Amino acid sequence: MTISIGNDHAGTAYKFAITTFLKSKNIVVINHGTDTNDSVDYADFVHPVAKDVETHKAKFGILICGSANGVAITANKHQGIRAGLCWNNEIVELIRLHNNANILCIPARFTAIPQVLKMVETFLNTKFEGGRHQNRIDKIPLSC
């Protein structure tokens, strides 16, 4: 499995922890995030992650910034992306079960690294329920 990951300066430590965790599970990680704490623009890192997921270069994406709102908004501009903002494990489970989310957005300023590692594990191990939820997913894309 391949995961594409991106972060701004607020998520650098989280990205390193998540990457170490994923590699320990023999998951390939594509790093599009900054490796420093110097201020950067999150969108510069979001678009490459969303493109990796859109083109199936990566099965899933993970995005990290201070609130995760900016990365979620940006990622969801891409067709075929269902990015969910999550701050606890229950929400992570629901975005996979009900929304078939393919990008997990993590708010670094409102979570702790041990909590986030559990969230990532839940995201990867939870399967989409389908059924009535698929009908809802099918109504998301907009053709203009």
How confident is the model over 56-71, as a mean pLDDT?
98
Q: Which residues contact 137 (CB under 8 A, 6 or more apart)?
A: 82, 99, 100
| pLDDT tens profile 70-118 | 999 999 999 999 999 999 999 999 999 999 999 999 999 999 999 999 9
In the chain, the amino acid numbered 141 is P
Question: What pLDDT shows up at residue 142?
Answer: 66
CATH homologous superfamily for 2-138? Sugar-phosphate isomerase, RpiB/LacA/LacB (3.40.1400.10)
| pLDDT tens profile 4-46 | 999 999 999 999 999 999 999 999 999 999 999 999 999 999 9
Using DSSP, state whether 7 is helix, strand or coil. strand
- From its phi and psi, is residue 34 left (phi > 0), alpha (psi between -120 and 50) or beta? beta
Question: What pLDDT shows up at residue 143?
Answer: 58
Instruction: Give catalytic residues, as residue numbers.
Output: 65, 98
Token digits for 52?
């990796």
Q: Answer whether 85's CB lies under 8 Å from 47's CB.
A: no
The model's confidence at residue 139, banded by pLDDT at 50, 70 and 90, is confident
d(CA 87, CA 100): 17
Query: In the chain, what are the domain boundaries?
Result: 2-138
Q: Using DSSP bridges, classify how beta strands 2-7 and 28-31 pair: parallel, antiparallel or unpaired.
A: parallel
